[in-house]
Chain A
C-alpha cells in the first residue's frame, strides 16, 4: 500500500485512527468512502489519529483514508466580507444550496466564490520591486471596504506584468520576473500566525459606545479582553453590541458552540443596522463564523483558528480588526472532548494539559503591529467565557485571565436585578488605562483620567457604605454620606446601566460619556453647596431638572442639550437651599 492512502483502523466519535498512511501533523486527509474532511492531530508509529470535521456515524474500519498534502487552511481574498461560514470556512449559503435546510456530510465548498469577478485595480507597475505583503492592487469589496490584494508572504521579486480589470480570484493578475503567477486568492494554514514586522504597544482605545467599558475599563485596539459570566448574564448581547458599535474597521464574529438562533439574529439584523462610524450597513465590514453547539465538535475546535486567520489577513491590509469569540469555553470543551477520545492524560477538570498554552497562543495573535508593508494594523480579541455554575475558579476562566489585560466580569446578581450591562464594576478591571490615558487627554478632555478615577472611587466608597447600611439602615448615616449614596446611585442608573436594545441608548460617543460623568460630579458639587447652605437632601435629590437630565439620555440630540440640562439642575438645586 502506498503512503498516500491508508485504511481506517478505529472510529470513536469524531476521532478516527488510520494505518498504512504516512501523514504529517495537522495535514488534512479525506476519510471513508464519502471523503469526510479530517485533520491529523497525533502520530503513533504507523497510526495517524485524525479528528473528523463531520459526523462519523456509519463509517467502518477498512474504509480508505487519503492524504491531501495540505494543512488546514483558509482561502483569503475578496468575497470574505458579509459571508457566513462554518468552522472550516464552508459558506453556509452554499451548503444550503447544495444540501437544503439540514447540514448533511461529505460536501465540500470553497471559502471564496471562485467564479465571481472583481474589479482589480493595480497599484504597482511593471518593474516595481515587490516583497511579501506588498499591496499590488485593490478591489472595492463592499461599499465601505477596500480589499488590498497583497503579495503572499512567501513571494518577492520584480513585477513582470500586471493588469487592472475584471478578474475572478483564481485568475492571474500579476506575474513576477521569476515566472511566479499571483492571483487575488491566497491560502494560509489556520494554525500558523501570519507574519508581521513588529508588535507595538497599543495606544488607542477601541471605542465601543458602551459607557462602562469605554469609561471605566477601556480596551485598546490590538488588546485582548475576556468576558466571563454565567448563562443569561449578557455575554452574547455584549459581544453583539461590540460587533455593532465598536470603531473597528472589520469585525470577525465567531459563534463557537452556541445557539443557531443567535446567528440568525445577527444575519437578520446586521444588513439593516447602520454603522455609526461610516453611516453604512454593518454587514459591509463583517465576516461571520457559525459553528453552533450541535455542529461537529472538531469543526468547532477549528472555528476560532479560521476566524483569527481571517482577522490577521485584514490586519495585514492595515485595518483595525475586532474579533469576538462566543464562547471560548465551548472551544475549550471541544479540545477536551477530542483529548479524552485520544485517551490523553487529563489536566484539571478533564481539560488537556495544553489548555492554557492553547489559550495563550490564541490571544497572542491579537496585537497592534507594523505590517510587512509598514502599515499600522491591529487585531483586538474579545472572548466570552462560560464558566460552569458561573464560578470563575475553573480552568478556562483562569487560563484566560492570566493572559488578557481586560476583564469584564458579568454578574448573575446584577442580571437578575435587570441592571444591564450586568458588568460588575468592582471586580472588573482593565490594565490599559496607563497606555491609553494620553489618547483620552489629547482627544476627549485633558482631565478625562481624573474624572474616571473620581467616578470609580465613588463606586468603591458606595460599596463600603452599603455594608453599613445593611446593618443600620441608610437613615442612620450622616447626610454627606447619604449624598454619596445618591451620587453613586446616579452613576449606576444613569451612567453604567445601558440598554443594549434601545435605539439611542445602545451607543454613546466618548464626548457624551465624558459629559455625563461630569454631570454626575457637578450634581455632587451643587448638592454639597446646597446642603451646606441649609438645603434638605430630599429636596436636592428630587429636583425635576435632575430627573430630566437623567431621563433625556434616551432622546436623540442629548449631547447638544446636556449642558443646558446641567445648568437647569444647578439652578434648581441652589434654589432648594434658598427656599429654607
Chain B
C-alpha cells in the first residue's frame, strides 16, 4: 500500500523504535524496516500520534540505526488462512518453515481475534478421554475447555502433552482432533521432540505448527500464539474441525510481554510484568470453546513452567484466574520415578461436573473420583504425621489410608507413555485399589455403587 519510506527515527530503546513526523499511521499497523545493511525487519505500531509513532520490532532492534528506513504497510497483522495450512510448519511470524510453497489464501483473518459473543457460546460438555487415568478420573478434560498444564523446568510436561495429543478422543466416536501446535521460545531440542513424535504417529499430516524457538526473536513470540489461534478458529468455525491447540511455553510469552512493557517505561505490576497481563492472556485463553450453530471446537492445552515452582507467581496465578482449571505437575512425584507425575490435589477441572456420569462416562464416576481424591489427600497428610510419631501410632483406618496413598501413586497414577486406558479401565482400577480400604471408611462412595461395582462386596 503506502509506499513511502521514512527516515525519521529519533530513538531506539530495547525492542522499540520511536519516529516522528509521518503521515497518519494506524494503531496496530504493520511496519517494515530496512536497515542500512539492506536487511529487513518487521514490526507493529504500539502508539501513534501526529508527532510521534512507536513501533515494536519483532526481531529486536539489533542493527537498527537512525538511518533505518521505516515503511508502514497500511494494514493490521493478518494471517492468510486456508485449509492448506493443515500439514504445514510455519515460523513464528507465519512464514513457511518447511521449505514448502507459500500458503494460497482462501481469506485473511485479523490475528488479534474478535471476542466471541458470550451469548453465542455453547457450554462445553463432551467428555474427552485422554487415556491418562489421573486426568480422566480426577480432572476430566472437556471438549472446548482451556486446561493448562502447570509445570516447571525439567519435568515431563511435553511427554504428557504429546500423550494427550496422541490419545485424545471422544468416547465411542472416531471423530478426530487436529492439532495446532505453537512453540514460543522453546529449545530446538524440545521442538524436535514434538515434531518427531507427531511425525512418528502420522499426526503431523493433520497438524499445523507455528514455531518460534529460543533463538528466534523474542518479541515475535507475542504474535505466534495469535497466529496459531487464528488458524485454529478458522479450521474450527469455518471447516468444522475439532482443534486441539497445544502451546508452550506461556512463560516465555509473558517474558516477552514484560520486555515490551519495560522498554515503554510502563508502570510495572507484580514482579515487573505489565498490569495488563491478565487481559492480554485472556485474549489468548478465551479463544477456546464451542459456539452455537458450528460443529467445530477449540480445546486449549497451554503449557507453562512456574518460575521457582511457585504457583503464586503471576504467570500461573493469572492463568489460573482465566482458564477452566489446571493440571499440576509435581517435582516430588517425578523425583520418585512416577510418570505421569500429576499431583491431583491442586489440580482441577472446572467443567468436569457437567460432563461426567451415566450418559457420558459411567454412573459411578463422580462418587469414585471424590472418594479417590479424599482418600489420597488423607493418606498424603498422614505421611507427615508418620514421619514424627511412627507408623505404629496409627489406628487401623489411618494405616489403610496411608498404604492406599502409596498404591494410588504406584498403580493409579503410574502408567507408561503409550498406555491408553479407557475410562472403564480407569474406573475399574479405582475399585480395585479401593478394596484395600474397608468399606466403612469409604464414606464418599454411594452404597448403590458399592453394591454394583465393589470387587468383593458387590451384590
Contacts and interface: CB of A to CB of B under 8 A. Distances in A.
A165 interface: no
Contact of B27 (A59, A96, A263, A333): A59
Interface residues of B, number: 68
A264 B118 contact: yes
Given A10-B50, A297-B279, A102 B377 contact: no
Interface stretch (A190-198, A211-219, A253-261): A253-261
Given A9-B50, A10-B49, A501-B353, A260 B26 contact: no
Contacts of B348: 232
A257 B276 CA distance: 12
Interface in A97-130: 99-105
Nearest to B261: A340
A101 B120 contact: yes
A430 B1 CA distance: 64
Main secondary structure of the interface of B (DSSP, over half): mixed
A92 B318 CA distance: 27
Interface stretch (A385-393, A510-518, A559-567): A385-393
Given A292-B286, A390-B312, A260 B25 contact: no
Contacts of A501: 353
A51 to B, nearest CB: 14
Contacts of B320: 230-232
Interface string B374-391: 100100000000000100
Interface in A1-51: 9-13, 17
A473 B393 contact: yes
A92 B267 CA distance: 34
Contacts of B275: 333, 336-337, 340, 350
Contact of A259 (B28, B112, B322): B322
Contact of A293 (B48, B282, B377): B282
A264 B123 contact: yes
Contacts of A255: 118
Interface string A333-352: 10011001000001001100
A577 B307 CA distance: 59
A95 interface: yes
Contacts of B120: 92, 96, 100-102
Contacts of B116: 101-103, 260
Contacts of A57: 26-28, 76, 110, 112
Nearest to A389: B312
Contacts of B459: none
B241 to A, nearest CB: 16
B20 to A, nearest CB: 13
Given A260-B116, A389-B317, A11 B27 contact: yes
Contacts of A102: 113-117, 120
Interface centre among A62, A84, A261, A333 (most CB of B within 10 A): A261
Interface centre among B237, B276, B287, B289 (most CB of A within 10 A): B276
Interface string B47-86: 1111000000000000000000000000110000000000
A178 interface: no
A504 to B, nearest CB: 15
Contact of B119 (A63, A93, A340, A388): A93
A30 B24 CA distance: 19
A11 B118 contact: no
A427 interface: no
Nearest to B44: A57
A449 B129 CA distance: 51
Given A264-B123, A290-B118, A61 B49 contact: yes
Interface in B105-146: 110, 112-124
A60 B286 contact: no
A80 to B, nearest CB: 16
Given A261-B121, A293-B278, A295-B115, A388 B26 contact: no
Interface string A433-469: 0000000000000000000000000000000000000
B162 to A, nearest CB: 26
A346 B265 CA distance: 13
B255 interface: no
Nearest to A291: B118
B350 interface: yes
Given A84-B119, A293-B322, A350-B268, A11 B114 contact: no
A60 B121 CA distance: 33
A475 B75 CA distance: 74
B364 interface: no
B50 A349 contact: no
A268 interface: yes
Nearest to B120: A101
18 contacts: A11-B27, A11-B49, A55-B112, A56-B27, A57-B112, A60-B48, A95-B117, A230-B317, A232-B325, A257-B282, A259-B324, A261-B289, A267-B118, A290-B119, A294-B283, A333-B278, A337-B275, A388-B318
